[in-house]
Amino acid sequence: MAPLALARARVADARLPVTPVASAALVAALILVSLALRARGIGGAFWIDEGLSVGISSFAFTDIPATLRLDGSPPLYYLMLHVWMALFGTSEAATHVLSLIFALAAIPVGLWAGWSLFGPRTGWFVAGLFALNPFLTTYSHETRMYSLMVLLALVAGTAFVHAFVLDHRRHAVLFAVALALMLYTHNWTIFFTAAAGLAWLAIARARRERRRTVLLDGLLAFGGAVLVWLPWVPTLAFQARNTAAPWSNTPTLSDLSTALSAVLGGLGPVIGLLLVAGTGLSHIIRRRRDIERLELLTLAGLGLGTLLIAWSASQFSPAWAMRYMAVIVGPIVLLAGVGLARAGRLGVAALALVALLWLPKGVPPDPVTTEKRVVADVESFLGRGDVVVSTHPERLTVLDYYLPRGLTYVTSLGPVADARYMDWRDVLGRLRAASASKTLGPALDNLGKGQDILLVRPVTENSSNWKAEWTALVRKRDRQYARLLRKDQRFVRRAVAPAGPYAASNGVRATLYTKVND
C-alpha cells in the first residue's frame, strides 16, 4: 500500500472519530489543564542563565548577535526575547510567559504530529503527554530557549518523517525551515542535523524505488537550511575556538539513562513507558516491510541518534547538560505516544499512571540562597559607588538584575564595565592568571572611608557540582578572594545574607563589609 493511502486508511479506520468542534474543545481543555499546572511556576526567581538571557536581550536589537560572540549561543531566542521585553517588560513573570507559550503550543503540534503520522488515537495520546511532560513544565517557566527547542524539534522531526518516509514532499520545505530555526536557537541542533542526515541516508537505502527522490529532496532540504545558517557559521567558529563550555563535565554512560529520565520525568515513568509503550511499539517493529516500522525507526534515529552523537562528541569537547535534552524531547515523547496508543487498554491505564506521576507536586518557594532573596536582604545598605564582588563570574548578570543601579562590579576575572553579559573568551586562561591581590586589591584601595563592599560567593558545599575545570578553579579563587577581604583590617563586617547557617546545595551567600579606615 502506498504511504499516502496507508496514512488515509489509518484515519478512516481509527476508533476515535472526533468532529472538528469536539477536537478543538478537547485541545482547548488540554491547554487549559496544562496552563493551570505550568503557570504556577511563573514569576520565580531567575537563575544564572536567565539573568544572561535578559541581560543580552536588553542590548539594541542589532547589537545582540555581536554580543553573543562572547557568550557562545545562537541569536534567535534572544532576538525574540528582546521584542517580547519591549512589549511586556523584563520582570520574571513577563519573560517566563514567552517560554510558557512555546510549551503550550507543543500540545496542538503534538496532536498534529501523532495524528498525521499514526492516526487520531496516537495524536491524542501524544497531545496528552505534551500537556503534562515534566521537562517541558520545568522550562515553561524559565527565561531560556529550551521550550522553543522542544517545539521546533517536534515540528522538524514530524516534517522529516512526512517528507522522506511518507512521500509528502511539501513537508521537506517545512523541515528545512524548522531546521534552520533550530540552528539559530541552540548549537545542539548540529547533533540533531547529523542524526537526521544519517536517517535520511538510511531511508534512501531502504527505499530503493524512491531513492532518487529521497536523495534529491534531502539535498534541497538540508542544503536550504544550511544555506540560511551560513551567515552565522563564522560566529560559531569563533565561539568554538574561544568560548566552548569549560563548566561542563565529560558525560559517563550513566548520563545516557539520566538523560532519558530527564526527558520522560523520572525513573518510574521511564520504566512504565518502556514496558507498556515498548509492547505497543514491538508489534509494529516486527512488521518488517510495513511503512510504520520505518516511521518508528526514523523517529528513534532522530531522538536516540542525536543523544548518542552528542554524548560521543562530548567525550572530546564536553558540552553536556540535562537542559540540552530539549532537542530530543519531541521525537522521544512522540515514540512513547505511539507505543501507548498501540498497547490497547493497557496503554490507557499506563497513560493515566504516567500522568499522575508527572503531575507537579506544587511549586516550592525560592530558596533563601537565590540571588533574588540574598540581594533583598542587603540592598538597603548599598549606595552609589559601592562595590559588588562576585567570585563566580557568570552570576554577575543575575545579581545586576536584582541590585540597584550605580554600583561598581568586580569578579574574580577583574573589573566589569557592563554586567549584562558574560565574556567567556579564554576564561580558563584569564582565571588562572588572576590573583586576589591584583584583581581585588585595587578595588579595596579605591574605596573611600565609609563605603561598602558586598562579597557574593557561590554555595560550594556540594563538591560534585564543582568538578569541571572551570568550576573547580572558580571554587579555588573564591576561597582566596574571601580570605583576602576577611584579613584586610581596613574593613569590618556589617551584614551577612542569608542570616543564619542555612544548608544549601546551590545559590549564593553574601557578606557586606564597610571600610572604616584608610
Output the domain CATH number for residue 434: 3.40.50
Same domain flag for 293 and 385:
no
414 assigned to some structural domain: yes
In a domain, 156, yes or no: yes
Asked if the structure places residue 2 within a domain, the reply is no
Is residue 75 assigned to a domain? Answer: yes
Q: CB within 8 A of 222, min separation 6: which ones?
A: 176, 179, 193, 196, 197, 200
pLDDT in the model for residue 3: 45
In a domain, 12, yes or no: no
Yes or no: say if 144 and 322 are a contact pair by the CB < 8 Å rule: no
Neighbour tally for 42: CB within 10 Å: 18
- The reply to whether the predicted model has a pTM over 0.85 is yes
Residue segments in the chain with a per-residue pLDDT below the cut of 70:
1-18, 288-289
Per-residue pLDDT tens digits for 413-437: 999 999 999 999 999 999 999 988 8
Give me the pLDDT at residue 288, please.
62
pLDDT at 393: 95
Q: Report if residue 206 sits inside a domain.
A: yes
Total structural domains within the chain? 2
For 276-293, how does the pLDDT look when each residue is reduced to its tens digit (9 = 90+)? 988 888 878 877 668 899
Asked whether residue 408 falls in the same domain as residue 495, the answer is yes
Q: Would you say 135 and 326 are in contact if contact means Cβ atoms under 8 Å apart?
A: yes
Longest dimension (CA), the chain: 88
Identify whether residues 438 and 301 lie together within a single domain: no
Q: Does residue 387 share a domain with residue 259?
A: no
Q: Which three cell numbers stand for residue 385?
A: 559607588
Q: How far apart are CA 148 and CA 178, in angstroms?
A: 11
Question: Is residue 18 situated within a structural domain?
Answer: no
| pLDDT for res 512 | 96
Position 14 in a domain: no
The DSSP letter of residue 57 is H
Number of CB atoms found within 10 A of residue 518's CB:
8
Same domain for 346 and 379, yes or no, is: no
pLDDT of residue 10: 47
Q: Do 411 and 390 meet the contact criterion of CB atoms below 8 Å apart?
A: yes
Do 308 and 389 lie in one domain? The reply is no
Q: What is the Cα–Cα distance from 93 to 132, expressed in whole angstroms?
A: 20
Clarify whether residues 347 and 429 are in a common domain.
Answer: no
Only one residue has cell 559601592, namely 386
Domain carrying residue 81: 26-240+249-358
